[in-house]
Structure 1
Amino acid sequence: MALPTAKPVEKFSRRGVSIFLWVPVIADTVNLKPTRAELDGGTNLSAAIAGISGFTLENQSIETPDMGDDFDSSIPGSDKAEDSSFTFYEDKVTDVIEELLKKGAVGNVVILRKGDVPGSKSMDAFPVRVGSQSPAYSTDNEAAKFETRFTITRRPAQGLPVPAVGAGAAKKELA
């Protein structure tokens, strides 16, 4: 009997596809599922992002060795979201991002992993607080940057469906 063959995967690069939004408030605090209006009211940070760290959920396994075997088994433990950060290109003219994401700011980083594709279960929402914002100094021949570090304040929601687009919807872009 032949095993079923999976369809070929349509691979893609996140650059130019994934969208990173700052959404100050998500009304659905239980499921952390933003509405289309909340997404449209968010700020698209994508074009200013030079680097990303974190924004993942990891399980902290618990080791369960026993005297009956010399294999150290484990069981799933609690989940944890590591502290996360964005490295932004610094704008020589404006300080829009610096003001939006200053230390202590509370909101949500919403990631549309496959872009703004209504119905796609590829939206993640991370409730965050800005822990720090620091310029990156360098003598190298590179663009000026700064890093914003976030703490994840509670369990993120992952694999949410992207809400349908309403008439006249438009996300705020950085000025």
Structure 2
Amino acid sequence: MPATPLAAVTRYWSVAVNKWYFVPAISNKSAPTRLELNAGTDLTGEVADSSGWTTTGDTIEAPDGNSVFIAQVAGPVKADDSSLTIYADPTGNDARTLLPRGTTGFVVRLGGGDTAGRKMDVFPIRVKTVGKQYGGTATEPAKLEISFAITSTPAEDVTIP
């Protein structure tokens, strides 16, 4: 008897659906309330690009004197370097006012949009830097690259209330 196939999924282009929120306070990152999410700021319309926002795990070698094979065990988990590239305003009235260096809170990525029952990832953050990219060419708008430290384990695949 063959293995059971994985159920087919609805494929989508995340750029047109993905939402990015900055939420200053969440009491339980594994179960944010709708009130907490609504108290945040929707960054989506100003996000030009994102990088990181995932976790990776290291492995630890576990040799065994009875074998020439060196087994591995799961080791520490960490977050990749993460940033959001956001459009800049010439007056400075942009994400710099909301997310200056040192700001703490949560970046919430709603990968399937802000729809109850879908999944989101909640990243506890501190803003590391706000880099200015004033465009190297005539075809590139000015942007800010906001780099974040992920300060504790992200809550992944949390159901959106």
**CA shift at 1:6, angstroms?**
3.3
The aligned counterpart of 1:172 is none
The aligned counterpart of 1:12 is 12
Q: How many residues align?
A: 160
Worse-matched range after superposition: 6-15 or 16-25: 6-15
The answer on whether the counterparts of 1:23 and 1:110 sit within 8 Å (CA) in structure 2 is yes
**CA shift at 1:144, angstroms?**
1.0
What amino acid does structure 2 have at the position aligned with 1:126?
Answer: F
**CA shift at 1:67, angstroms?**
4.5
Determine which of 119, 122, 125 is the counterpart of 2:122.
125
The aligned counterpart of 2:46 is 48
Change (3 A) 1:14 1:68: same
TM-score of the superposed pair, with normalisation by structure 2: 0.90
The aligned counterpart of 1:134 is 131
- Please report the RMSD computed on the Cα atoms of aligned residues, expressed in angstroms: 1.7
The aligned counterpart of 2:75 is 77
**Residues 1-175 of structure 1 aligned to structure 2 (within 5 Å):** 1-28=1-28, 31-93=29-91, 95-120=93-118, 122-140=119-137, 141-163=139-161
TM-score of the superposed pair, with normalisation by structure 1: 0.83
Change (3 A) 1:52 1:69: same
Distance 1:139 1:55 in 2: 26
Query: What is the percent sequence identity of the aligned residues?
Result: 37
Distance 2:105 2:70 in 1: 41
The answer on whether the counterparts of 1:126 and 1:157 sit within 8 Å (CA) in structure 2 is yes
What amino acid does structure 2 have at the position aligned with 1:124?
Answer: D
